[in-house]
Amino acid sequence: MNRTIELIKTIYEIKQLEDFEEPQIALAGRSNVGKSSLINCLAGRKGLAKISSKPGKTRSLNYYRVEPDGFFLVDLPGYGYAKCSKAERAKWAKLIEAYIQGNTQLKAVAVLLDSRLTPQKLDLELTSYLKSLGIPVIPVLTKSDKPKQRDRAKIQNQWKDILQQDKAPLCFSSKTGMGEAKLWDILAAHAAL
Ligand code: GDP
């Protein structure tokens, strides 16, 4: 299926949050994990989400409408950027929490994980937080063109054990397109539940 993605709303503060009727899948991950690149890859065009050479730049929450399915992909602000202040970090955490909690249209959160790194504390915190709320986690290993196959399999198994899911996380690369079609299938299936 040929899908299009269109940015329909960007917000920076809790008071700008809106209750949409459409099913939503959020995209979350540490800054620099490759989230903007993944969105651009899914969109099939380069400039939709800004790719930052400097990590920590994407600080807004962006709603994208996916057609023809009609669900939203919601790009959450990247977390874990070391160089931002405590106050700023707390503000983003509150925004993410406010978005997630009580959002009946949120069907799942795709958590982007860097395939080159062992499981990171903030990723573990996020996945257990989502689990505690009963929100399905779709783990996606980004930059999967980078590690050797053996190392990739190792990190896949680590995450499979941590998340206690039947299947290993999807390996994805916005550079090569690895996992793209499969990711679309998974996102659309969750949005349709
Ligand atoms: P964001 O901060 O999560 O939005 O991350 P970006 O999409 O801006 O990417 C951060 C850096 O990782 C950039 O230098 C990208 O070129 C690089 N990157 C993103 N995706 C991939 C990928 O699939 N493979 C490789 N090798 N590099 C990637």
Sort strands 106-114 and 170-171 into parallel, antiparallel or unpaired. Answer: unpaired
CATH class of 4-191: alpha beta
Best residue for ligand 1 mutational test, from 37, 62, 120 (most atoms within 8 Å of Cβ): 37
Token code pair at residue 134: 């009963």
Instruction: Name the nearest CA neighbour of 129 among 161, 105, 93, 82.
Output: 93
Mean pLDDT over the full length of the chain: 92
Q: Is 46 in the pocket of ligand 1 (CB under 6 A)?
A: no
191 or 89, higher pLDDT: 191
Sort 84 into a burial class: Cβ within 10 Å, 0-12 / 13-18 / 19+.
middle
Token code pair at residue 4: 């299009």
Report how far ligand 1's centroid is from the alpha carbon of 23 (Å). 27
Whole-number pLDDT of residue 146: 97
pLDDT tens digits, 102-136: 899 999 999 999 999 999 999 999 999 999 999 99
Whole-number pLDDT of residue 98: 95
Complex prediction ipTM: 0.99
pLDDT tens digits, 34-49: 999 999 999 998 888 8
CA end-to-end distance (rounded Å), the chain: 19
Whole-number pLDDT of residue 54: 58
Q: Minimum mean pLDDT among 18-27, 58-67, 155-164: which range?
A: 58-67
Q: Is 78 in the pocket of ligand 1 (CB under 6 A)?
A: yes
Domain ranges within the chain, ordered by starting residue: 4-191
Q: What is each CA distance from 27 to 62, 183, 192, in whole angstroms?
A: 10, 12, 17
Whole-number pLDDT of residue 1: 82
Atom of ligand 1 nearest to the CA of 176: 23
Whole-number pLDDT of residue 80: 81
Instruction: Read off the pLDDT band of 56 (50, 70, 90).
Output: low
